[in-house]
Amino acid sequence: DSFEEQYYPSSCLVMEAGVRVLRRKDPPFNKLPFGRLFPRQKLFRNVKNIKTCAIVSSAGSLAGSKLGRFIDSHDIVMRFNNAPTRGHEADVGSKTTIRVVNSQVVTKPEFDFAHAPIFRNVTIAAWDPGRYNGTLEDWLTSADYDLFTNYEIYRRRYPKSRAFLIDPHSVWRLWQSLQMFAGNRAIRRNPPSSGFIGLALLLPHCPQVDFIEYVPSTRLNGRCHYYSKEMNSGCTFGSWHPLAAEKLMALDMNVADDMSVFQFGILRIRRPDKLLC
Ligand code: NCC
């Protein structure tokens, strides 16, 4: 009995964080000219037809996976930051529906957010944590990296684009869900990684999410990204983000067998039934 009372599904905790994009009607943006830059469209079209989604982590151990065809078979494919597909199709596929990008990628000149082809013709969900207890007004003047300037340039240049900003309060609620999962093991007071934010953003729209090479498989090779030679295990196990806790929580939500997770690198997460949460 006591065990059952203590157990609360991790997927419910993630759903309750309510990770979302900002909308025109959200105060204070409903009163600010800046809010009129937000797209009127929903984050995804035809949500009723979405059955399967793939989230492609940028992990080095995707190299050599040959998962490209499998990834492209999903209705929605989510990728991160400037992670390329070109030249890596066999391992990571070529379809991209949505990119979750952090505010460094929106801001730093080397990524050229407002022009680079990699950020065009896909849905964009950009995020910046702001201060833990800050208001949205504070955020507009004190974002970690000023993503607003380039967001505005991008939206004016491509008015039909689906480029959204993630509600920073919802990012911190996700951090709180992670803290709930971790119990008395303290996690870092830094926001979750783009990968975990992406999962929480996608799950409400998708009955089944395959998260690729997030929990490391036996292909683990010490490389940071599949698209660069940099060796850095911190990218996989965490240095700034509470990444290890995220991955434990993701594994707790997994319904696939060990072969799938640790040999193929595919974690399967089902959206919880409302009655369960
Ligand atoms: O590396 P990054 O992450 O772009 O990776 C995207 C997401 O993939 C998962 N990942 C990545 C590498 C790895 N070995 N294992 C993984 O599981 C993580 O879930 C990660 O979120 C980010 O989260 O936005 C991050 O962005 C980079 C960097 O800003 C961009 O790549 C642009 O260069 C950050 N690195 C630095 O700031 C140096 C990284 O900390 C987080």
What pLDDT, on the 0 to 100 scale, is given for residue 60?
98
* Confidence class for position 3, pLDDT limits 50, 70, 90: low
For ligand 1, what atom is nearest to the CA of residue 80?
A: 6
Dump pLDDT digits (tens) for 151-169.
999 999 999 999 999 999 9
* Confidence class for position 6, pLDDT limits 50, 70, 90: low
- Considering Cα of 126, then 233, then 243, then 66, what sign does the dihedral take? positive
| pLDDT mean over 24-46 | 97
Q: Rounded to whole angstroms, how far apart are CA atoms 66 and 85? A: 13
- Considering Cα of 68, then 74, then 79, then 84, what sign does the dihedral take? positive
Q: Whose CA is nearest to atom 17 of ligand 1?
A: 214
Helix, strand, or coil here: 89?
helix
Beta bridge partners of 254: 269
What pLDDT, on the 0 to 100 scale, is given for residue 132?
94
Number of H helices, E strands in the chain: 12, 7
Domain residues for the domain of 65 are 2-276
Dump pLDDT digits (tens) for 105-116.
999 999 999 999
Dump pLDDT digits (tens) for 190-208.
999 999 999 999 999 999 9
* Confidence class for position 46, pLDDT limits 50, 70, 90: very high
For ligand 1, what atom is nearest to the CA of residue 223?
A: 14
Mutate to test the pocket of ligand 1, among 79, 92, 102, 230 (most ligand atoms within 8 A of CB): 102
Indicate whether 5 pLDDT > 70: no
Q: Whose CA is nearest to atom 9 of ligand 1?
A: 57
Q: Which residues line ligand 1 (CB under 6 A)?
A: 57-60, 80-82, 102, 104-105, 193-195, 214, 224-225, 235-236, 240-241
For ligand 1, what atom is nearest to the CA of residue 100?
A: 24
* Tally of CB atoms within 10 A around 239: 11
Total structural domains within the chain: 1
For ligand 1, the distance from its centroid to the CA atom of residue 234, given in whole angstroms, is 10
Q: Whose CA is nearest to atom 38 of ligand 1?
A: 235
C-beta separation of 216 from 267 below 8 A: no
Strand ranges, E, within the chain: 52-56, 76-80, 98-102, 123-127, 163-165, 208-212, 266-270
The region of weakest confidence among 6-15, 136-145, 226-235 is 6-15
Beta bridge partners of 127: 102
Amino acid at 45: R
For ligand 1, the distance from its centroid to the CA atom of residue 43, given in whole angstroms, is 22
Q: Angle at Cα 29 formed by Cα 24 and Cα 34, nearest 5°?
A: 90
What pLDDT, on the 0 to 100 scale, is given for residue 108?
98
For the question of an ipTM over 0.95, the answer is yes
C-beta separation of 15 from 203 below 8 A: yes
Q: Whose CA is nearest to atom 24 of ligand 1?
A: 194
* Confidence class for position 7, pLDDT limits 50, 70, 90: confident
For ligand 1, the distance from its centroid to the CA atom of residue 125, given in whole angstroms, is 15
Mutate to test the pocket of ligand 1, among 55, 57, 221, 261 (most ligand atoms within 8 A of CB): 57
Helix, strand, coil tally for the chain in percent (to 5): 40, 15, 45
**Which CATH number belongs to the domain containing residue 19 in this structure?**
3.90.1480.20
C-beta separation of 231 from 223 below 8 A: yes
Q: What is the mean pLDDT of the chain?
A: 96
Indicate whether 2 pLDDT > 80: no
Percent share of the chain, pLDDT over 70:
98
Q: Rounded to whole angstroms, how far apart are CA atoms 71 and 91? A: 9
For ligand 1, the distance from its centroid to the CA atom of residue 277, given in whole angstroms, is 30
Indicate whether 4 pLDDT > 80: no
Indicate whether 1 pLDDT > 60: no
